[in-house]
Amino acid sequence: MAFGDIVNGLLTLRERMSWEASLARNAREYSKGVDLVREGDRPAALRIVLSGWAQKYKQLPDGRRQILAVVLPGQLCDLDLFTVARADHSIAAVRRLSIAEINRAEAQRLFDLCPNLAPALSLAEIVGASVQREWTINVGQRNALERVAQLMCEIYVRQHGVPLVGGGACDFLLTQGQMAEATGLTQVHVNRIVQQLRLRCAVQLQNLRLEIPDFAQLAALASFNANYLHLGEVQALAERASPLFSPEVVSRRDYAGGDRCP
Amino acid sequence: MAFGDIVNGLLTLRERMSWEASLARNAREYSKGVDLVREGDRPAALRIVLSGWAQKYKQLPDGRRQILAVVLPGQLCDLDLFTVARADHSIAAVRRLSIAEINRAEAQRLFDLCPNLAPALSLAEIVGASVQREWTINVGQRNALERVAQLMCEIYVRQHGVPLVGGGACDFLLTQGQMAEATGLTQVHVNRIVQQLRLRCAVQLQNLRLEIPDFAQLAALASFNANYLHLGEVQALAERASPLFSPEVVSRRDYAGGDRCP
DNA sequence: CGCGACGTTGACCTACCTCAATTGGCGTGG
DNA sequence: CCACGCCAATTGAGGTAGGTCAACGTCGCG
């Protein structure tokens, strides 16, 4: 099941209809690089990515920037911003981005209407925190090759919902400059590493697509271990909550067209 | 108010008594370096540090280790482990550690008994996630001097609950080797940086104590900004929930003696 | 007194950074 | 349809922050 389906998987059909109607009603567009939330803002909305990718980031006073997370279609940007008085990080569009912004009042109505919604979002937050920890060890301990390989593995698995066996492809909307900001490297060095990965793993990275002919090999280079994504539990929880709706039925594809198909 | 008081500040007197009785009843001791939770374990308890420090960490297959967070007295180790089937990181004792381990059944009773408890723990989790993001930018973007200075500032502020004006001191239980694992540096280099900080800021670091004669200077070196600790909100929320119990009254000192006073 | 844990020091090395220039694709306007 | 400009990727040369390895000092404790 796709990572972005956490929410959908946990809802009943009725709940899911309210939820998606609300998403559609509150859709907004942003173009590349534009901030949706700036550190220090008073957060006012619940944001769910519809298509394109968002990035969470923080900046030091002199401009150095760290991308903290990427938010894929179907995912929540920030639940914690709903609890907290001031945003502690910024959120921006990776590329052209379509996103639903649900204000407090409407969110409250939705929570009342859909009792399965809050636990679903809460699980998503917990997985998000786990991913954040993995990113910390990524920039803290892995070398450049491992960091870039790890990023590729994660992005692939989060989109497909299962660690790849053999080869496959997925969307990849980050520029090499953005990959550098995510891995704590420079753009130049990321470029050299990507070239190495092309040689060593035959990885293709172009036109906003990532092709991985041999996932096991790439994962080995990165010491990638998908446990931190908690895929099994997400799936189990989803099935327990609404056994009628298999992941295939409530596919992310319904409303997430991706950046390349406008 | 001290960071560890989040929980206490949010509880009424009656709730607080149940809570602390439960803590006392379930206390356990660990000696330095021992794991309380290992990545992959099925988590079975809610853990609250009573005295000493705990560390969350992850390890790569070849042994490289990243400390993800330090858990100070009065703080919760992991709420998310309560939701998730398998721990995605390990937890160990920084030094001799006294900790309360509350099993699922008892935790459930406590949640029923203390309606303010769940929101309190949840706020603590949210702040924890924010700290994790700051650590990511710390290892990803700051240089060695900034990283070590930032770590010192954070540890100080989290213990005292306010950014220091002028000079002051606090417990500091990490060895230089552990500081290295927390900052993504080597022990040797941390040692050299600490020496630099001694020269440039007159920082003292010995006998498990950290003395900071000029906090502003240290904070400037680190580009430290305490916003990510959400101190104001923690305080506000605490006061709203139980206005009768000021932070001074419900002090952490009640049960958290620190490592140095056994 | 001897051992283990921690801090300290020196010499040398390298992974990654910096700066700067070039290339190629693609959308836009003339 | 072509020219221009922008953005992203690429390449090269040279520099440095921090790593590695190995030894030594020091303190506390059994």
Q: What is the pLDDT of residue A213?
A: 95
Pick the closest to residue B136 from A127, A135, A178 (CA basis).
A135
Give the mean model confidence (pLDDT) for residues B39-62.
Answer: 94
Question: Which of A39, A83, A140 is closest, CB to CB, to B123?
Answer: A83
Q: What are phi and psi of A118, to 5 degrees?
A: -60, -50
Nearest CA in chain A to B120: A83
**A142 contact B CB<8A:** yes
Tokens of A81: 């911003």
* B83 CB within 8 Å of a chain A CB: yes
Q: Please indicate, yes or no, whether the overall pTM of this predicted structure exceeds 0.85.
A: yes
What is chain A's pLDDT, residue by residue, as a tens digit (262 residues)?
Answer: 444 556 666 667 777 777 777 777 889 999 999 999 999 999 888 999 999 999 999 999 999 999 999 999 988 898 876 788 899 999 999 999 999 998 888 888 888 887 877 888 888 889 999 999 999 999 999 999 999 999 999 999 999 888 777 889 999 999 999 999 999 999 999 999 999 999 999 899 998 999 999 999 999 999 999 999 999 877 666 555 544 333 333 333 333 333 333 3
pLDDT tops 90 at residue B227? yes
Partner-chain contact B83 A122, CB within 8 Å: yes
Chain B's closest residue to A131, CA to CA, is: B88
Q: What percent of chain B has pLDDT over 90?
A: 58
What pLDDT does A141 receive? Answer: 98
Q: How confident is the model at residue B5 (pLDDT cuts 50, 70, 90)?
A: low
Distance, CA of B202 to C1' of C5, in Å: 26
DSSP B85: S
What average pLDDT does the segment B181-192 reach?
A: 98
User: Which amino acid appears at position A53 of this protein?
Assistant: W
Q: Which residue has the tokens 């989109």?
A: A159
Domain residue ranges in chain A: 3-136, 143-226
B71 shares contact with chain A (CB less than 8 Å) = no
Q: What is the mean pLDDT of chain B?
A: 85
Cα end-to-end distance, chain B, whole Å:
24
Q: Which of A88, A123, A136 lies closest to B230 in CB terms?
A: A88
Contact A233 B135 (CB under 8 A): no
Would you say residue B258 has pLDDT above 50?
A: no
Structure confidence at residue B237 (pLDDT)? 61
Give the burial class of B8: count Cβ atoms within 10 A of its Cβ; 0-12 exposed, 13-18 middle, 19 or more buried. Answer: buried
Lookup: tokens for A233: 């539990």
| Candidate from A64, A223, A233 with C-beta closest to B60 | A223
A143-226 carries CATH number 1.10.10.10 = yes
Given CB atoms, is B142 within the 8 Å cutoff of chain A?
yes
Q: How buried is B261 (Cβ within 10 angstroms: 0-12 exposed, 13-18 middle, 19+ buried)?
A: exposed
The per-residue pLDDT for A107 is: 87
**Any B CB within 8 A of A183 CB:** yes
d(CA A178, CA A180): 5
Cα B133 to its chain centre, rounded Å, is 15
pLDDT of residue A49: 93
CB-based contact B86 A183, cutoff 8 Å: no
Task: Give contacts of A183 with chain B, Cβ < 8 Å.
Answer: 140
For A130, the closest chain B residue by CA position comes to: B88
Reported as a single tens digit per residue, the pLDDT across B85-132 is 899 999 999 999 999 999 888 888 888 887 777 888 888 889 999 999
The whole-number average pLDDT for the span B222-245 is 73
CATH code given to domain A3-136:
2.60.120.10
The answer to whether the beta carbon of residue B186 comes closer than 7 angstroms to any atom of strand C is no
Angle, CA of B2, A82 and A124, to the nearest 5°: 100
Extended strands (E) in chain A: 27-30, 35-37, 45-51, 54-59, 65-71, 90-93, 97-103, 168-171, 204-206, 209-212
Q: Out of A43-47, B74-78, B102-106, B257-261, which region has the weakest mean confidence (pLDDT)?
A: B257-261
Which nucleotide comes closest to B208 if you measure CA to C1'? C6
Sheet holding A209-212, edge to edge: A168-171, A209-212, A204-206
For residue B254, pLDDT beyond 50: no
pLDDT of res. B166: 81
Distance A131 CA to C10 C1' (A): 40
Closest residue, chain B, to A84 (C-alpha)? B233
| B147 and A CB contact within 8 Å | no
